């Protein structure tokens, strides 16, 4: 068991050298989806191995998928919640991660030593997450920061539509100063009286605050 965990940690450590950078280059969502997709066959293969060497190899390749989920998926999640709720969202995920390990320990020590039930459950959750990825959008913060303004506008329009914002107007960005050309304070008060959604940064906060309380 120690060697399996060590193999996974080696895979995680090596993938940390490049996967977070891929998330910066190509987007949070694509890397997250790729990680979820590659994770499925890895978990499925584990169910058929009865020798240790293939288990070590599989655990190693599981490492990069974990990095993709946590490095890009975590950022994507934080960028999809209101700024005021980001500490709570991040803390909740970390608490859930820790509780999962406690549950595993209790299960293996006092209930059963068969790990396949957890693997089956993980495969199910993985499939549900992939299906959910068909619905969520790319992070507008990421798109704005990468100066992909047209894509950012389209994402903001999608978010506004899903939040039921009927009088939302596409933002016009000043590409030199990266600011909204419109008086965003009046827009926020008009379409989102319950409170703003503010992404990380300064100027992109304005655009995202206008689209509602949910960012996916």
pTM to 2 decimals? 0.75
- Rounded-to-integer distance, Cα 44 and Cα 49, Å: 10
pLDDT the model gives residue 46? 81
Query: What does pLDDT average to in each consecutive run of 10 residues of the chain (216 residues)?
Result: 82 93 93 94 84 86 90 90 88 90 87 83 91 91 87 89 82 57 44 43 51 47
pLDDT the model gives residue 211? 55
pLDDT the model gives residue 138? 93
pLDDT the model gives residue 14? 94
Give ∠ CA 110-112-116 in degrees, rounded to 5: 145
Q: How far is CA 6 from the centre of its chain?
A: 25
- Rounded-to-integer distance, Cα 151 and Cα 27, Å: 12
Q: Hey, is 59 helix, strand or coil? A: helix
* CB within 8 Å of 144: residues ≥ 6 apart: 152, 173, 178, 199, 201, 203, 204, 207
């Amino acid at each position: 068991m120690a060697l399996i965990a060590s193999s996974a940690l080696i895979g995680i450590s090596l993938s940390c050298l490049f996967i977070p950078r891929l998330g910066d280059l190509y987007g949070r969502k694509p890397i997250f989806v790729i990680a979820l997709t590659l994770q499925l066959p890895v978990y499925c293969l584990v169910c058929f191995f009865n020798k240790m060497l293939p288990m070590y190899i599989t655990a190693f390749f599981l490492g990069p998928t974990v990095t993709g989920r946590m490095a890009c998926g975590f950022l994507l999640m934080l960028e999809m919640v209101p700024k005021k709720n980001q500490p709570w969202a991040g803390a909740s995920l970390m608490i859930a991660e820790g509780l999962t390990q406690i549950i595993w320990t209790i299960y293996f020590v006092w209930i059963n030593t068969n790990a396949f039930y957890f693997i089956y459950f993980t495969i199910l959750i993985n499939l549900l997450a992939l299906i959910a990825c068909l619905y969520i959008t790319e992070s507008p913060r990421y798109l704005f920061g990468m100066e992909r303004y047209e894509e950012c506008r389209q994402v903001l329009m999608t978010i506004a539509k899903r939040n039921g914002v009927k009088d939302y107007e596409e933002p016009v960005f000043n590409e030199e100063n990266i600011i909204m050309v419109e008086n965003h304070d009046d827009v926020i008060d008009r379409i989102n009286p319950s409170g703003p959604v503010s992404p990380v940064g300064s100027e992109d906060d304005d655009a995202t605050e206008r689209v509602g309380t949910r960012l996916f």
